[in-house]
């Protein structure tokens, strides 16, 4: 049998009994270096053993003395967590006219397209997604379905959603949000989100970057006191908050408002990073949508002046990411998939490469997409690590991600809840 056939057989077996495999190295999601010659025992639902020592006989099938299979030239690591993705949007096309037509579709079509993407996202090795908001109910519908599989076997990545993002009428975010003015107070707005099924609360604190000028040209749409009121209302409802914020002032309002995570954070300062570290506010830097503007500048009609602005923004963001890591700020990986030119799944793997290019080690990048993300975002199941008690959701690859996360783009097999899912060297972005 080929290795893939062996893994397909063992994945099926894991639905009936514990399976024991040996791998050349284990990246457990938390350790700073891979573990050599590791033994993994798992069933379809949960990992029973993961270490460089032999498993105890009590967790194996009777009289088993040897692994079911050895994969000595493979690396095993946890399935990845995508912390910023818009499920209702198709990200691959780089054509604003095409995007405009896409957004005119009925909500049922958005949901159908989102469901059709899930298999390819799983092939990329992504097992969990934090949706970042839409006003059409797509994220909430997917999240509701995902909740039915908590503690059970699933064939799709777990996803949660904030529902519509909160913004102000006439300000950025109408395509994915619902205005706070529709409610009597911030607390009433948050309660309405929770009653609709929101797992978290998404705030649009700022606008977006004006690429032609190379800066955020509008003031924040939410003052600090309003951010505080929303955050406090969310806490009372047991919900985390995450803030779209770019521009120094928008980032400041988010930090002083006390959100759990700052999304994007372009033009963040070193002083703000210190505050985030001390207040345990995580940062999701999302390089991908801005890097795309550089990579596809001709298609987007950007001249040399705009490209110069974009490169300066990316270089500054890279510097701040290195500083954040050195300071001990919690960094969580998210791509803003669904943004124009950022495909789901593949865009996240590209985001990880951007983080490595910025100066983070491959292991630090992998931690931001596994254990750091899981600890920060507090999903309802144990994920983000290959460790006893965690879900049996992991990647097996001959191409070592600890040398470069670019290797995650190469051929691999995803083990997910009793399935073995093959992923070729290159996936088409069609539909993503």
- Does pTM surpass 0.95? yes
Mean of per-residue pLDDT scores for the chain: 96
Rounded distance between C-alpha atoms, residue 299 and residue 304, angstroms: 13
pLDDT at residue 96 above 80?
A: no
DSSP 105: S
Rounded distance between C-alpha atoms, residue 77 and residue 97, angstroms: 40
pLDDT at residue 156 above 90?
A: yes
Percent of the chain with pLDDT over 90: 93
pLDDT at residue 292 above 90?
A: yes
The predicted model gives 126-153 an average pLDDT of: 97
Give residue 204's pLDDT band: very low, low, confident or very high (50, 70, 90): very high
pLDDT at residue 101 above 90?
A: no
Tokens read off for 64: 């088993």
The three-point CA angle 421-141-171 to 5° equals: 115
b/e map 202-221, b = 16+ CB within 10 Å: bbbbbbbbebeebebeeebb
Tokens read off for 348: 């996240």
pLDDT at residue 58 above 90?
A: no
Q: What are phi and psi of 393, to 5 degrees?
A: -135, 100
Q: What pLDDT is attached to residue 304?
A: 96
pLDDT in tens, 310-358: 999 999 999 999 999 999 999 999 999 999 999 999 999 999 999 999 9
Q: Is the dihedral of CA 71, 75, 78, 82 positive or negative?
A: negative
Rounded distance between C-alpha atoms, residue 240 and residue 410, angstroms: 35
pLDDT at residue 115 above 80?
A: yes
Domains and CATH numbers, the chain: 3-78+385-423 (2.30.40.10), 80-377 (3.20.20.140)
Ranking 160-164, 255-259, 286-290, 424-428 by mean pLDDT, the lowest is: 424-428
The predicted model gives 179-203 an average pLDDT of: 98
Rama region for 149: left / alpha / beta (φ>0; ψ in -120 to 50; rest): alpha
pLDDT in tens, 363-389: 999 999 999 999 999 999 999 999 999
User: Which residues does residue 131 pair with via DSSP β-bridges, in sequence order?
Assistant: 85
The predicted model gives 205-217 an average pLDDT of: 95
Q: Under a CB-based contact definition with an 8 Å cutoff, are residues 31 and 90 in contact?
A: no
Q: What pLDDT is attached to residue 266?
A: 98
Give residue 103's pLDDT band: very low, low, confident or very high (50, 70, 90): confident
Rounded distance between C-alpha atoms, residue 13 and residue 418, angstroms: 8
Rounded distance between C-alpha atoms, residue 147 and residue 25, angstroms: 33
Q: What pLDDT is attached to residue 99?
A: 83
Tokens read off for 274: 């210190």
The predicted model gives 222-230 an average pLDDT of: 98
pLDDT in tens, 256-284: 999 999 999 999 999 999 999 999 999 99
Tokens read off for 166: 């909160």
pLDDT at residue 61 above 90?
A: no
Rama region for 4: left / alpha / beta (φ>0; ψ in -120 to 50; rest): alpha
The three-point CA angle 323-327-319 to 5° equals: 5
Q: What pLDDT is attached to residue 400?
A: 98
Q: How is the beta sheet containing 158-160 ordered, strand by strand? A: 80-85, 126-131, 158-160
The predicted model gives 19-31 an average pLDDT of: 98
pLDDT in tens, 33-47: 999 999 999 999 999
pLDDT in tens, 360-369: 999 999 999 9
- Strand residues in 1-94 grouped as ranges (E): 19-26, 35-42, 47-51, 69-78, 80-85
Q: Under a CB-based contact definition with an 8 Å cutoff, are residues 411 and 398 in contact?
A: yes
Q: What pLDDT is attached to residue 153?
A: 97
pLDDT in tens, 405-415: 999 999 999 99
Tokens read off for 339: 């943004």
Give residue 139's pLDDT band: very low, low, confident or very high (50, 70, 90): very high
DSSP letters spanning 369-385: TTHHHHHHHT-SS--SS
Q: Is the dihedral of CA 226, 231, 237, 242 positive or negative?
A: positive
pLDDT at residue 305 above 80?
A: yes
């Amino acid at each position: 049998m080929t290795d893939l056939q062996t893994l397909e057989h063992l994945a099926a077996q894991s639905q009936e009994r514990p399976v024991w495999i040996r791998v050349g190295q284990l990246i457990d999601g938390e350790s700073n270096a891979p573990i050599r010659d590791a033994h993994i025992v798992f069933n379809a639902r949960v990992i029973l053993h993961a270490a460089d020592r032999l498993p105890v006989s009590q967790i194996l099938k009777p009289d088993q003395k040897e692994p079911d299979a050895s994969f000595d030239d493979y690396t095993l690591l946890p399935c990845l967590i995508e912390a910023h993705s818009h499920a209702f949007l198709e990200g691959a096309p780089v054509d604003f006219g095409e995007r405009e037509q896409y957004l005119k579709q009925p909500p049922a079509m958005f949901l159908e397209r989102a469901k059709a993407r899930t298999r390819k996202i799983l092939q990329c090795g992504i097992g969990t997604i934090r949706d970042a908001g839409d006003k059409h109910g797509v994220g909430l519908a997917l999240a509701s379905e995902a909740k039915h599989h908590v503690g059970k076997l699933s064939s799709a990545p777990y996803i949660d959603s904030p529902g519509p993002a909160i913004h102000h009428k006439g300000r950025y975010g109408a395509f994915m949000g619902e205005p706070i003015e529709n409610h009597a107070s911030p607390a009433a707005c948050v309660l309405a989100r929770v009653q609709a099924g929101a797992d978290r609360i998404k705030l649009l604190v700022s606008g977006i970057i004006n690429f032609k000028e190379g800066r955020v040209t509008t003031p924040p749409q939410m003052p600090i006191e309003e951010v505080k009121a929303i955050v406090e209302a969310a806490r009372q409802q047991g919900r985390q908050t995450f803030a779209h914020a770019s521009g120094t002032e928008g980032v400041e309002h988010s930090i002083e408002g006390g959100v759990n995570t700052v999304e994007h954070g372009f033009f963040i300062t070193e002083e703000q990073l210190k505050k985030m570290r001390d207040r345990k506010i995580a940062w999701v830097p999302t390089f991908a949508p801005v890097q795309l503007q550089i990579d596809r500048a001709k298609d987007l009609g950007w001249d040399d002046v705009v490209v110069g602005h974009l490169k300066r923004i990316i270089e500054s963001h890279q510097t701040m990411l290195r500083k954040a890591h050195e300071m001990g700020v919690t960094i969580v990986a998210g791509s803003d998939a669904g943004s124009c030119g950022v495909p789901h799944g593949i865009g996240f793997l590209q985001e990880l490469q951007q983080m490595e290019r910025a100066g983070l080690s491959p292991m630090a990048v992998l931690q931001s997409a596994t254990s750091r993300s899981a600890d920060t975002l507090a999903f309802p199941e144990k994920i983000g690590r290959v460790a006893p008690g965690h879900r049996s959701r992991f990647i097996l690859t001959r191409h070592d991600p600890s040398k470069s996360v670019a290797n995650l783009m190469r051929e691999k097999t995803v083990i997910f809840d009793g399935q073995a899912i093959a992923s070729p060297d290159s996936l088409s972005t069609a539909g993503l």
